[in-house]
Structure 1
Amino acid sequence: MQIPITVYVAVAIFQHAALAICTKLLTSGTIIAFDDKTQQLQVIREGSLLIEGDQIISISDVAIPGNISENVEVIDCTDKIITPGFIDTHRHGWQSVFKTLGSNTTLAEYAGRYSAFVSQPLLSPDDIYISQLAGIHEALNAGVTTILDHAHHTWTREHATAGLNASVDSSARVFFAYAFQNIPGFTIQDQITHWRELAPTVSGDLATLAIAYDGWMGDLQDPDTQAVMKLALESKVKVLTTHDVEGPWPLYNTPEVLQRVGILNKSIPIVISHGSQVTANSAQLLRQTNQYISITAESEMHYGHLHPTSHLILDQASLGVDTHFTFSTDILTQSRIWLQSTRARLYRDAIDNWKIPANNPMSVNQAFLLATRNGGLALGRPDLGVIMPNAKADILIWDGRSPGMLGWADPIAAIILHANVGDIKDVMVDGEFRKRDGKLVIKDYAKVQDRFLQSAKRVQDEMKGIPLPIPEGTFMGGYPYGPVLQVDTQRGEGTGYGPSYV
């Protein structure tokens, strides 16, 4: 059988593996690989995957090749599906301690109670460290192997360092985007100095120091903006990220704005978070400069940003989670929500014109690529989010015999539409297990949990004392508030919405 990806014959594979240290062979599994020549996903049934150190060496259609060296760790993947790890291109990991407090919040309420500037007095550097660490472990458990973390807890040197240290200690692949924002006593100029001091301390390929900045939309000659851009260019920063929430929301770091500043067309990968209301001109700029947006589908529904046009630029899009304390932490859920919401939006065009849809507008393959390969491309890392030779060995192994997946024929559809994160039995980052046989492989994880719970209880008790903002007048001096119809699931006045139980 001939398959159009690089494949070593069995003898060659294991002659190579016999000389290797930390070599793993995944056998007899169904592999969702990527063919770089055809630019398509490729399903290899009853195949094997050879990993040496942190890289994928080869993929074979032979289930259990012969001549296996005793130095090779053989992992039986019979009835299992092997995929690349998920990539999250927008998250605020430090907010884990707020879990379940914001279940019914609007974006305006979030800004007035849970945002970085409001939360600052409540969290010590120790709180930031354990919240970030536990949040990344939560993501790892859910199969998220790479995270672009928009770290806007950079209130002091100690707070910023704590979040970075947690990211390093997490054993996940984290792009820690240090947020530059003017804080009393710790200005953007101070933060730039701190960033430069931290940069030499971050080594290896798992933790990467990146940049987050939301001030592009102001004066283009602003000294802070110019200083951030100078830092990005001089340091050849690996990734730069920014928020873009348009319409009535006052956070419009659009592709057009970034182009005017002169940063969009540089070689630095830029991830524009949300980009919910990109214009045709925005889309053209993203394609011309090969830059990406991060669609956080559940967040944009939860908070009310919505996403009226971002489905039109999926070739330059990836997926993110955003504020995971309010909803799902996993990219699997985001891909499923985005797939079905996009289908619904495009079906409506036909239904509103009294026509029967003649085709399905978006496939499970596309949803899978958004959750994996597109995330790697957004970060400027074509070796992430794919299973192919020379790619990083960030791997998930799914239980194909779980109750929800039993009987699958299409492994991609099984993952995107039928699996849950409990079906992820093994997670590898850089070729090392972070989850095995359904349990996290984290040193002293019980102590991490206990420490996190102590921090969360104290922070949440204080947070409950902060009243939610009253939505009157205008939001941040801009557009007015407007009432939204609330639905009822029970008869009788005031019985449907119910109280909060925090």
Structure 2
Amino acid sequence: MRLRNLPILLAALGWAAGSSILFRGGTIIAFDKGTESLQVIRNGSVLVTDDRIVSVSGSAPRNIPAQTEVIDIAGKILAPGQVNTHLHGWQTAFKTLASNTSLVEYFSRYGEFAAAGLLTPEDVYIGELAGLFESLNGGVTTILDHAHHTWSNATAQAGLVASIDSGARVFWAYAFHNITTITPNFLVPEQLGNFRDLVKNAPLKGSPTEVGVAYDAFGPNPNVGEVNAIISLAKELNASVITTHSLQGAWGIDNSPENLNTLGILNISIPIVLSHASFLTATGAQLLRSTNQYISITPESEFHYGHTHPHSHLIQDQSSLGVDTHFTFSSDILTQTRLWLQSVRRRLYSEVLGRWEVPDNNPMSVNQAFLLATRHGGLALRRDDLGVIAPGAKADLVVWDAASSPAMLGWNDPVAAVVLHASVADVEAVLVDGRWKKRGGRLVGGVKIDYYGDVQKRFLASAKRIQNKLIETPSVFPRAGDVWAPSGFPVADALTVDTLRGPGDGYGETFLAAQ
């Protein structure tokens, strides 16, 4: 390559050494780290140089670098990128197959152990890539991916490479789990070596992708030697995060703060994110606060699958928001934010109404919901520079088309406009690390990645094969009267509702067909 062509290539990729972008004339949802609160700046400006926000002000900054790209955002809203602290990106190909599934069926059909052997490395790569582009399209710039597609060296590598290629800020957490459902088995001792090799050899330099660890056997009956080996390697390789599914109560998949504290790892230097934290105890909440560890509330998942969140509204000071299985519902954090906000309001209103009294205040604010979707995601990852618009923060930004959107037309409060009225369709542009990922309402893939051609074509071929295989395979999972193995509690039927009057089954059917 001739040196004089290098700037052209870098520009095509969405960045250039020393490149600057000035957003001016719009409304900025900034963050004041001194007061720990949102700061709305009208007719403001944000200057980005390389991957960082240089200045945030109510007027145009002085000393703008030469050749700065100036973006007029008059009438629009500039907000920080949303942070998703729980996702399984590789599952994208399962979309619409599980619209009415339960969690017991999920584990038996769509989860990490059931899917082992079903997806090739190519399936993992293209599914992960398509899922991450879907996230970027919705204004999600940071994703903590609980990557339990680690069934082999090849499938593990495929997901990591897809994360890097996506250009999203991915905390890719390698899942350690003993895979015995396929031949050859893939066990934790071998996975330790695989993880070390991946971290050593992956092209992570210059990418916003970082590596972490996922593990779901911290308790109630952990293999202490296995746990110690994983945590030791995580420390050695400077893993950015450790994450685990925590479903206490009748589910029996505890991985609770108490479990981690007993193992002596709740207060290590690596941040730990407990996904769901269903049936978190008061003691567990105290432990989270004392060690500054966070949970990831995934509202739509917990509604859909029924593992619920009975106490999460009481620990929002140590909470962030996630999506979980985006193949069953929304992939954007905006939807999760709105669902969580209104569910908390309903719960706390009901407590007053249950006493035959009338509430005179709103229990949860829109500001709090916005912070859970942005700032708190960064705090969960111990990254003070994520989820905020402030000098020195990462240039992960979303432009909301509040100027012409029918849904947002007439807005006054920009935070309320985003949380309560916007949709994914209103995301006009997205930047990660100061590089365009969506612009003019369309995803920007760059030189290597053409989303509207190659990615879509490859993904559809992969999804068709996977979906046909699953449609042709009967679903077998525990039914009423059986025992739920992880906890020993009985499985029972939930009451179903009916939309038909009189006799008949109004539950309906799913409309799936092999193609």
Give the TM-score range, shorter chain: over 0.9
Deviation of 1:247 after TM superposition, in Å, equals: 1.3
* Map of 1:189 onto structure 2: 189
Distance 1:229 1:242 in 2: 13
Question: What do the CA deviations read for 1:232-289 (whole angstroms, capped 9, x no partner)?
Answer: 2222321000000111112100001000001101111000000021111111110100
8 Å CA contact retained: 1:213, 1:242: yes
8 Å CA contact retained: 2:20, 2:65: no
Q: Secondary structure at the match of 1:118?
A: coil
What does 1:101-120 correspond to in 2, within 5 Å? 101-120=97-116
Question: What do the CA deviations read for 1:41-73 (whole angstroms, capped 9, x no partner)?
Answer: 0000000000000000001101x4577565110
Letter in 1 for 2:401: D
Letter in 2 for 1:270: I
* Map of 1:468 onto structure 2: 475
**Higher deviation after alignment, 200-209 or 152-161:** 200-209
* Map of 1:277 onto structure 2: 279
Letter in 2 for 1:150: H
Q: Secondary structure at the match of 2:106?
A: helix
The yes-or-no answer on 1:439 pairing with 2:442 is yes
* Map of 1:414 onto structure 2: 417
Distance 1:40 1:355 in 2: 32
Deviation of 1:380 after TM superposition, in Å, equals: 1.2
What does 1:56-205 correspond to in 2, within 5 Å? 56-62=53-59, 64=60, 71-184=67-180, 185-200=185-200, 201=202, 202-205=204-207
Q: Secondary structure at the match of 1:381?
A: coil
Q: Secondary structure at the match of 1:131?
A: helix
The one of 33, 42, 60 aligned to 1:36: 33
* Map of 2:253 onto structure 1: 251
Distance 2:65 2:173 in 1: 42
**Higher deviation after alignment, 453-462 or 479-488:** 479-488
8 Å CA contact retained: 1:244, 1:272: yes
What does 1:210-249 correspond to in 2, within 5 Å? 210-220=212-222, 222-249=224-251
Distance 1:125 1:356 in 2: 57
* Map of 1:301 onto structure 2: 303
8 Å CA contact retained: 2:102, 2:304: yes
Deviation of 1:199 after TM superposition, in Å, equals: 1.2
- Per the alignment, do residues 218 and 485 of structure 1 end up closer, same or farther by CA in structure 2, a change over 3 Å counting? closer
Letter in 1 for 2:450: D
Question: What do the CA deviations read for 1:406-437 (whole angstroms, capped 9, x no partner)?
Answer: 11110000000000011010000000110001
Deviation of 1:231 after TM superposition, in Å, equals: 1.2
Distance 1:38 1:475 in 2: 48
Question: What do the CA deviations read for 1:101-152 (whole angstroms, capped 9, x no partner)?
Answer: 1110110111111111111121111100000000000000001100000011
Question: What do the CA deviations read for 1:353-388 (whole angstroms, capped 9, x no partner)?
Answer: 001012111000000000000000101111000000
8 Å CA contact retained: 2:167, 2:207: no
8 Å CA contact retained: 2:23, 2:46: yes
Distance 1:191 1:220 in 2: 18
- Per the alignment, do residues 47 and 231 of structure 1 end up closer, same or farther by CA in structure 2, a change over 3 Å counting? same
Deviation of 1:33 after TM superposition, in Å, equals: 0.4
* Map of 1:49 onto structure 2: 46
Distance 1:255 1:487 in 2: 36
Distance 2:90 2:117 in 1: 14
The one of 470, 477, 480 aligned to 2:490: 480
> Tell me, which stretches of 5 or more residues in structure 1 are unaligned?
1-19
Deviation of 1:75 after TM superposition, in Å, equals: 0.2
Deviation of 1:494 after TM superposition, in Å, equals: 3.0
* Map of 2:19 onto structure 1: 22
Distance 1:34 1:131 in 2: 35
* Map of 2:12 onto structure 1: none
Number of equivalences: 482
Distance 2:96 2:378 in 1: 30
Deviation of 1:226 after TM superposition, in Å, equals: 1.6
Question: What do the CA deviations read for 1:445-480 (whole angstroms, capped 9, x no partner)?
Answer: 111001000000000000112222351312226211
TM-score (norm 1): 0.94
The one of 484, 488, 499 aligned to 1:489: 499
- Per the alignment, do residues 370 and 213 of structure 1 end up closer, same or farther by CA in structure 2, a change over 3 Å counting? same
8 Å CA contact retained: 2:86, 2:296: yes
Deviation of 1:493 after TM superposition, in Å, equals: 2.8
Letter in 2 for 1:435: K
- Cα RMSD after superposing both structures: 1.4
8 Å CA contact retained: 2:321, 2:333: yes
What does 1:445-460 correspond to in 2, within 5 Å? 445=451, 446-460=453-467
- Per the alignment, do residues 48 and 469 of structure 1 end up closer, same or farther by CA in structure 2, a change over 3 Å counting? same
- Per the alignment, do residues 68 and 267 of structure 1 end up closer, same or farther by CA in structure 2, a change over 3 Å counting? closer
**Higher deviation after alignment, 269-278 or 473-482:** 473-482
> Tell me, which stretches of 5 or more residues in structure 2 are unaligned?
1-16
8 Å CA contact retained: 1:21, 1:71: no
Deviation of 1:220 after TM superposition, in Å, equals: 4.7
Distance 2:503 2:433 in 1: 56
Deviation of 1:396 after TM superposition, in Å, equals: 0.1
**Higher deviation after alignment, 113-122 or 36-45:** 113-122
**Higher deviation after alignment, 485-494 or 247-256:** 485-494
8 Å CA contact retained: 1:113, 1:466: no
Letter in 2 for 1:171: G
TM-score (norm 2): 0.91
**Higher deviation after alignment, 220-229 or 407-416:** 220-229
Q: Secondary structure at the match of 2:315?
A: helix
Distance 1:354 1:149 in 2: 44
Deviation of 1:495 after TM superposition, in Å, equals: 4.2
Q: Secondary structure at the match of 2:29?
A: strand
* Map of 2:14 onto structure 1: none
The yes-or-no answer on 1:352 pairing with 2:362 is no
Q: Secondary structure at the match of 2:93?
A: helix
Distance 1:311 1:204 in 2: 38
* Map of 1:398 onto structure 2: 400
8 Å CA contact retained: 2:81, 2:396: yes
